[in-house]
A and B are shown apart, each in its own frame.
Chain A
Amino acid sequence: MELSLLTRRTEYEWEIPRRGAMRVPAVIFASEALVERMDRKVYEQAVNVAMLPGIVGASYVMPDAHWGYGFPIGGVAAFDADEGGVISAGGVGFDISCGVRCLLTGVKSAEVRAVQHELADALYGQIPAGVGSTGSIQLGVSETDAMLAGGARWAVQSGWGEARDLERIEEGGQMAGAEPAAVSARAKQRQMDEMGTLGSGNHYLEVQRVSAIFDAALAQQFGLQTDDVVVMIHCGSRGLGHQIGTEFLKRMAETAAEHGIVLADRELACAPIRSELGQRYLGAMRAAINCALANRQILTHLVRRVFAELLPQAALALLYDVSHNTCKLERHGARTLYVHRKGATRAFGPGHPQLPAALQAAGQPVLIGGSMGTGSYILAGTSESEERAFSSACHGAGRAMSRHQASRTWRGREVIEALAARGIIVRSPSMRGVAEEAPEAYKDVAEVVDAADAAGLARKVARVEPLICIKG
């Protein structure tokens, strides 16, 4: 993206001034180097989002932004229903409520290294991962509806997890306002045997060690010390969310004109929040959020079972669970807004009423996944983030190279051997999948996280590096 297109507000904040049909400006949070490497499509998509009815503040772009579907991935946009605001299936994405959760094990890396191969094999044996993998939990019709209404709370009540997990999950583990009846039979069918599965692509389960602490006080409040071991799970709402995204995208594209919405591009397909379609999507999307929360909860239970066998001294308390593809109704100042975060993480600052007592002083943990070779980051939400971008931060590294190019550049076996030489054990059913996810195919997550920190979106707390990676 050419810098000449932008007005520089601060070192890490850039504005696309309002012009033409834009209702608000667009604001990009990134270093100069990151902005220069951003695709020109991000600029176009941020401008298009700024034209949508009822948008409030600005069309925000996070430091890891890249070319998405209508909305940029790494985009944040809030809408006011009272001002004709819209909800967009593309603004949430196909993998509804895709997100990351982090478990604190309470053990040190030497304890894991002593059983590293056994632990990798046991996790790989227990966690269904990869294309076509199925879970051991088959839900009937009424159980599916209970899961869609109850989320992680349903999972805990069904025996997958502990009640104390719930306060460490956004929405207390249960998204209110879910409408299982708004979820199609096809979407439910697609989920039939996918509960408790990891998926594929960039989804993973990693055992990681804390390799650096950036803020000792915040790290202590999160229960993190150097060399501690954590488990990070990255996945979403599986087939159910994908099908809901697919169906509502089509319906919104077909009916935009009837709703009087002029789309700059039909991939921006949306519906007024106060319309029958908008409300139906909200109900279905919230049910998909619950599906993702339940799924990560079941995976957590499977991880605990494996650790109980091999490392019974591990505690596996939940640090936090964040979703980075959502639209949520939130209070911001005097207004109640529908905030779309597509490839962006909510980042509530200290004192936010939705945080549990133990996190009130620190702010919300913000979990940022990197590649399987470079590591991930744990940040904390800041008070400034509220005025910057409705309390939002980045979500990951973003690809530097297409899947096709990556699979032609590397062989999965070589990637696994190179990582093993660095003490990282990878288990995956697909060698081509591993090649496509090679660490070098991703951008430098450190640069993204540094920009988020410098822009005041979230504060860097710790870096974690993988010891074991289960890749779908």
Chain B
Amino acid sequence: MSAHWEHFAHEADVGVRGIGPSKPEAFEQAALAMTAIVADPAAVRPAERVHIECEAPDDELLLAEWLNRLIYEMATRHMLFGRFAIELGPGWLRGTAWGERLDPKRHDPAVEVKGATYTALRVGQENGAWIAQTVVDV
């Protein structure tokens, strides 16, 4: 099974789900799913990289924190990210996000992301694959 992402339905907002053979890959795919709310991740060039470190008491809060740190970087740097690489340990995450400055004409951004919620928040294994998901407020 190769790593991939999908969106799932929420009445007001959008659910993001990363699926991968390992937990870090599921986290990376969840981040790609979040970018896809705004624009096509394939259209984002890996021109700049941003390093991110965060901590949380458990995997689920760590997923929300990871996504929220990316939202902060997207908002303050006016960037989109299309590639991610992370390392996970107990209660910590170290990652790199590659992307570029938002170009409204080329990216046609649909909506800005306000925050990752704890709704439908889950990190776990299913049929041998890791799943990392939550609902993102837009």
Q: Is A269 within 8 A of B11, CB to CB?
A: no
Q: Which residues of B contact A472 (CB under 8 A)?
A: 112
Q: Is the CB of B137 within 8 A of A94?
A: yes
Q: Is B3 an interface residue (CB 8 A)?
A: no
Question: Can you name the residue of chain B whose Cβ is closest to the Cβ of A134?
Answer: B78
Q: Does A431 contact B (CB under 8 A)?
A: yes
When the two chains form the complex, which single residue of A90, A254, A407, A430 contacts B61, counting CB atoms closer than 8 Å? A254
B56 on the A face (CB < 8 A): yes
Least CB distance from A195 to B in Å reads 14
Give CA–CA (A95, B104) in the complex, Å.
23
Report the separation of the CA atoms of residues A429 and B106 in the bound assembly, to the nearest whole angstrom: 11
Interface locus among A5-13, A61-69, A111-119, A155-163: A61-69
Q: What separation, in Å, do the CA atoms of A199 and B114 have in the docked complex?
A: 10
Selected interface stretch from B18-26, B115-123, B125-133:
B115-123
Choose among A70, A73, A399, A432 the residue with the greatest number of B CB atoms under 10 Å from its CB.
A432
The smallest C-beta distance from B104 to any residue of chain A, in angstroms, reads 5
In the assembly, what is the distance between CA of A199 and CA of B135, in Å?
20
Assuming A69-B137, A249-B118, A250-B61, is B109 touching A131 (CB within 8 A)?
yes
- What string of 1s and 0s marks CB contacts (under 8 Å) between B48-63 and chain A? 0000000011000100
With A and B bound together, what is the CA distance between A365 and B61 in angstroms? 40
Residues of B within 8 A of A432 (CB): 108-110
- A-side contacts of B115, CB under 8 Å: 94, 242-243, 245-246, 249
Residues of B within 8 A of A67 (CB): 10-12, 119
Contacts of A254 in B (CB 8 A): 56-57, 61
> Would A433 and B75 count as touching, CB distance under 8 A?
no
| Interface presence of B2 (CB below 8 A) | no
Interface mask (A430-450 → B, CB under 8 Å = 1, otherwise 0):
111100100000000000000
- Interface stretch (choices A76-84, A184-192, A276-284, A378-386): A184-192
Partner of B72, one of A39, A190, A430: A190
- Whether A243 lies near B112 (C-beta < 8 A) is no
Contact A404–B61 (Cβ < 8 Å):
no
Bin the interface of chain B by size: 35 or more
| B64 close to A (CB within 8 Å) | yes
Interface residues on A, range: 35 or more
A246 to B57, CA, bound (A): 16
Q: A399, B7: Cβ atoms under 8 Å?
A: no
**Contact flag A430-B109 (CB < 8 Å), given A192-B76, A249-B118, A250-B65:** yes
In the complex, chain A residues whose CB is within 8 Å of the CB of B72: 186, 190, 243
**What separation, in Å, do the CA atoms of A170 and B111 have in the docked complex?**
28
Is A398 an interface residue when CB atoms closer than 8 A count as contact? yes
Interface flag for A196 (CB, 8 Å): no
Contact (Cβ within 8 A) A69 B119: yes
What is the CA–CA distance of A433 and B112 in the complex, to the nearest angstrom? 10
**A171 interface contact, C-beta 8 A:** no
The closest CB in chain B to the CB of A433 belongs to B110
Question: Which parts of A58-104 form the interface with B (CB within 8 Å)?
Answer: 66-70, 73, 90, 93-95
18 contacts between A and B (CB under 8 A): A67-B119, A69-B135, A73-B12, A131-B111, A132-B78, A132-B102, A242-B75, A242-B137, A246-B68, A246-B116, A250-B65, A265-B118, A266-B118, A402-B11, A430-B110, A430-B111, A432-B108, A433-B109
4 additional contacts (CB under 8 A) given A242-B115, A250-B64, A402-B9: A73-B11, A131-B109, A134-B78, A403-B138
Partner-A contacts on B (CB < 8 A): 7, 9-14, 37-38, 56-57, 61, 64-65, 68, 71-72, 75-76, 78, 102, 104, 108-112, 114-119, 121, 135, 137-138
Residues of A within 8 A of B (CB): 39, 41, 66-70, 73, 90, 93-95, 130-132, 134, 186, 189-190, 192, 199-201, 239, 242-243, 245-246, 249-250, 253-254, 265-267, 269, 398-399, 402-405, 407, 429-433, 436, 472
